[in-house]
Structure 1
């Protein structure tokens, strides 16, 4: 039997209404946000619901703190986060193996800019995040200290976001200086004179200590070199044998040779700050980030007598390193880059930087150092010195080349030879040739 025209029209209208209803109930995923945006879709769903992130951190207090806050991030975004942690050397090794193999994970990772950034970026393992960081005005990239950003920048591209900063400062014994009526040294000459006056090895009191091991000491001599107007390199040229560099290294080597405790050639920072904390040294120069080792009641005999001062000035002024010691970066092959940035943005936001800094992790945001809550974990004098040092300084503490490990051994040998009595100019000339050859090799020459 033939259907009437009226019945045909009724059937067609019903079919159209059903299709419209089914379309409205569709569960298809919303479009991903554009880089640098975090606005949720108009449906009210979480912006990245159902996505997963692989994160790798170092066994570091910052990583420990972030783990406790991650549930907040997961609840806010709908992203499921898997975090794994490794010791420093294991971390670099694992990342190198995975990236060499072209792995898409981890999506976000902790890294050491001074040690790894050139190698990782030049090999194409790091995704530049300029587009993300600069597009979102609420992120406030300008709030980061200038040198923390330049520490994580390669060839004009933002290769990572700073999370932990370090500044080179001078630790001193307040009681010893007061007893000897000595002012806190403001110049290299004043530091040497003060160390000389307080040096009393017969009574196990030494004037100065810092790192003496060949590789670890390189970061420490950097500030001495910069404060005399030198650097490790200039462009594609090695410059550790310039008069400025030699003058800075000579000052450091002589302080250790003349006023350091026995065995200084075998000391890295744990041994150096350890003997300072035992009350056997008047002055100690190193990073502000390790201050807790000097005032821990279980380790230190001078808890109430530790003072903090800005790095002494050389002929070019006070130019300590002011660096990003740890940053986070995005895997260039990550398949969830927008979600990866969402984590990076959250982990380095003002709210989270404040929370991690209150746990003793010195962050890169200037506003947090100006916030009274942001300095509750630090001695007042140290906070003041840190705020002042962040205004200037130099954005690297090691030679800025791909083969940093080899470079450290080359440069460190200069100081060890000088402490042992060898001619520092001859040692610097030899090291400069070796460093230049290494740089040429890195550059394919």
Structure 2
């Protein structure tokens, strides 16, 4: 499998130039020792906001002063960062530390370029402030493959005033949601919302699947992955129930019928403007409360409704710092990565989205969201591009093409395994 990735890497083009922090160097070469014998770390970061950048400048300067290590800290967009890592890996010239997205974890692990950090974690005291869900998100099998730098979870946001107007309590189950058939007539507002297209759709679906005890694909005994729904009648029936929930939401009128083509832009905007009374989304809507207090001041943060007998779950987007096994500075790289995950950096840069249990900001947009993190689920560490698209397509097959929920579950199971086979990640079991 890794030979296949090496062939693919040979065709990757070098990414475009990136913006560097003014206080730091911008070399794109592998870190190492300078002429005076000191250590230089090459660190590739995602783009920062202006306020984050100012804090990072100070924190990097402080780290350099405290350790004597020089940090070349360079910012890239995520798209550029991904391509640049691929290009660098093809040339055996990776950075020491790179910001990443969870979608890349399986890809980079399959390429064999990530350092296994398990032994380093065993001697890292601050690892104790990372929850089991966070640690699971940083692991593939028995290997720990990253240090978390940012975490967001989804919550079920409700407009309390609109719910009261409709005479409804916050729904706790799928059946509660589907019972709100007269809510639109009472309030002029749809009680629920779904994203059925775009990047949000798979993130929502993975939660509904997890609530039914399902994974989009699961780790097998041979260390590879497989969708097992068609091997187990109960799993296939549970997956069909998820598609039935989508269909029932549309057919019962509890969501806007145009939701069939809605992505995150439409669903977030509809909630912010009071066109839907509730929606599963993230704490980035806090800024909308500041901009639109008349509508958003009544928002409450709730657990996502579950099916009867189901398991509480929410989507966790856990972003890793990657360390590479070609680095000449593995010890210093891990030290810097744990500095980024440390309390001071997290409070200064990621206070509202920290993976640490001891970093929080008072208020519903942080504390209430973080309270749901123990039920966080994430995508498995496999190549996700085709799998995510298949999840989107499967929703369309039910809502737009009239495919039955059972047939859609079977179709998606086959599509996932086809994708895994093409990426060399399909289990033979």
TM range (shorter): 0.7 to 0.9
Q: Which residue of 1 aligns with 2:242?
A: 248
Q: CA deviation at 1:94?
A: 1.7
Gaps of 5+ in 1: 1-47, 369-373
Q: Which residue of 2 aligns with 1:133?
A: 121
1:52 aligns with 2:40: yes
Q: Which residue of 1 aligns with 2:201?
A: 217
CA contact (8 A) 1:227 1:319 kept: yes
1:181 aligns with 2:167: yes
Q: Which residue of 2 aligns with 1:413?
A: 393
Change in CA separation of 1:166 and 1:318 when aligned onto 2, cut-off 3 Å = farther
1:437 aligns with 2:421: no
Q: CA deviation at 1:256?
A: 5.0
CA contact (8 A) 2:100 2:320 kept: yes
Partner residue of 1:155 out of 141, 163, 188: 141
Relative to the length of structure 1, the TM-score reads 0.77
SS in 2 for 1:162: strand
Tell me, in whole angstroms, the C-alpha distance in 1 between the residues paired with 2:262 and 2:287: 15
| Residues paired across the two proteins, number | 377
Q: Which residue of 2 aligns with 1:72?
A: 62
CA contact (8 A) 2:97 2:323 kept: yes
1:403-429 CA distance string (max 9 Å, x none): 210111112211112121332222222
1:110 aligns with 2:99: yes
Q: CA deviation at 1:346?
A: 0.8
SS in 2 for 1:270: helix
Tell me, in whole angstroms, the C-alpha distance in 2 between the residues paired with 1:301 and 1:260: 23
Q: CA deviation at 1:262?
A: 5.7
Question: What CA RMSD, in Å, does the superposition of the two structures yield over aligned residues?
Answer: 2.6
Q: Which residue of 1 aligns with 2:284?
A: 290
Tell me, in whole angstroms, the C-alpha distance in 2 between the residues paired with 1:443 and 1:53: 33
1:271 aligns with 2:261: no
Tell me, in whole angstroms, the C-alpha distance in 2 between the residues paired with 1:49 and 1:274: 54
CA contact (8 A) 1:401 1:439 kept: no
Change in CA separation of 1:440 and 1:310 when aligned onto 2, cut-off 3 Å = same
1:341-364 CA distance string (max 9 Å, x none): 121111111232233343x3x111
Q: Which residue of 2 aligns with 1:336?
A: 329
Q: Which residue of 2 aligns with 1:168?
A: 154
SS in 2 for 1:260: coil
Change in CA separation of 1:150 and 1:401 when aligned onto 2, cut-off 3 Å = closer
SS in 1 for 2:355: coil
Q: CA deviation at 1:439?
A: 2.0
Q: Which residue of 1 aligns with 2:17?
A: none
CA contact (8 A) 1:168 1:223 kept: no
SS in 1 for 2:182: helix
Q: Which residue of 2 aligns with 1:208?
A: 192
Tell me, in whole angstroms, the C-alpha distance in 1 between the residues paired with 2:264 and 2:46: 19
Q: Which residues of 2 match residues 287-436 of structure 1 at below 5 A?
A: 288-297=282-291, 301-358=294-351, 360=352, 362-368=353-359, 374-376=360-362, 380-391=363-374, 393-396=375-378, 398=379, 400=380, 402-420=382-400, 421-436=402-417
Q: Which residue of 1 aligns with 2:275?
A: 280
Q: Which residues of 2 match residues 184-199 of structure 1 at below 5 A?
A: 184-194=170-180, 196-199=181-184
Q: CA deviation at 1:157?
A: 1.0
SS in 1 for 2:213: coil
Partner residue of 2:74 out of 72, 78, 84: 84
SS in 2 for 1:84: strand
CA contact (8 A) 1:214 1:416 kept: no
Q: Which residue of 1 aligns with 2:5?
A: none
1:226 aligns with 2:210: yes
CA contact (8 A) 1:221 1:249 kept: no
Q: Which residue of 2 aligns with 1:122?
A: 110
Tell me, in whole angstroms, the C-alpha distance in 2 between the residues paired with 1:100 and 1:254: 48
Gaps of 5+ in 2: 1-35, 231-235
Q: CA deviation at 1:160?
A: 0.3
Change in CA separation of 1:172 and 1:408 when aligned onto 2, cut-off 3 Å = same
